[in-house]
């Protein structure tokens, strides 16, 4: 019985590994530098079809095409910036995980900082207004407070 369970586990693991290797594209590169640049670029570019997956992790047809396109551009001698510009022109800001600083993306870059500043100002004013309310006691309330504190 234990041998059967072990055999089934081995078959299951081999099958899982086989499926994992099926998703890997093999592109020939003349040197390791181009291979590393390719891997860095497909990690940096987002799949246009998937919600939040880079080209390296996506198994969609568009991601396969874009990996092949990045490979072709690298072999043509394009720089990383030229490849990113090419992809940005075709697919817009969505394809870049780090959107460029331009008028259309100012809210993405500075919106959180602006919201933090507004929240800090609101919190500061709220705390200061409550502090002011507590310190403005009438003479009667001050006398009563002194009596209560003095009893302890």
54 and 42 in a common domain: yes
Separation of CA 38 from chain center: 20
Last residue of a domain, one of 63, 82, 100: 100
pTM value? Answer: 0.57
- Whether the pLDDT of residue 150 is over 90: the answer is no
Residues counted in the chain:
152
Q: What is the pLDDT of residues 56-115, one digit of tens each?
A: 888 889 999 999 999 999 999 999 999 999 999 998 888 887 777 777 777 777 889 999
Overall domain count for the chain: 2
User: Are both 55 and 110 inside the same structural domain?
Assistant: no
82 within 8 A of 41, measured Cβ to Cβ: no
69 and 28 in a common domain = yes
Mean pLDDT computed over 127-141: 74
User: What CATH number is associated with residue 10?
Assistant: 1.10.8.640
């Amino acid at each position: 019985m234990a041998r059967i369970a072990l055999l089934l586990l081995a078959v299951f693991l081999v099958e899982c590994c086989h499926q994992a290797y099926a998703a890997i594209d093999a592109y020939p590169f003349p040197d390791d530098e181009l291979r590393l640049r390719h891997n860095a670029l497909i990690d940096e570019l987002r799949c246009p079809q998937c919600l939040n997956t880079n080209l390296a992790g996506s198994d969609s047809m568009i991601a396969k095409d874009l990996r092949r396109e990045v490979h072709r551009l690298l072999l043509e001698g394009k720089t990383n910036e030229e490849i990113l510009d090419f992809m940005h022109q075709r697919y817009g800001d969505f394809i870049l995980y780090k959107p460029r600083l331009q008028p259309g993306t100012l809210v993405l870059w500075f919106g959180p900082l602006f919201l933090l500043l507004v929240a800090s100002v609101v919190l500061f004013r709220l705390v200061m207004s409550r502090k002011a309310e507590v310190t403005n006691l009438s003479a009667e309330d001050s006398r009563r407070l002194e009596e209560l504190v003095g009893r302890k």
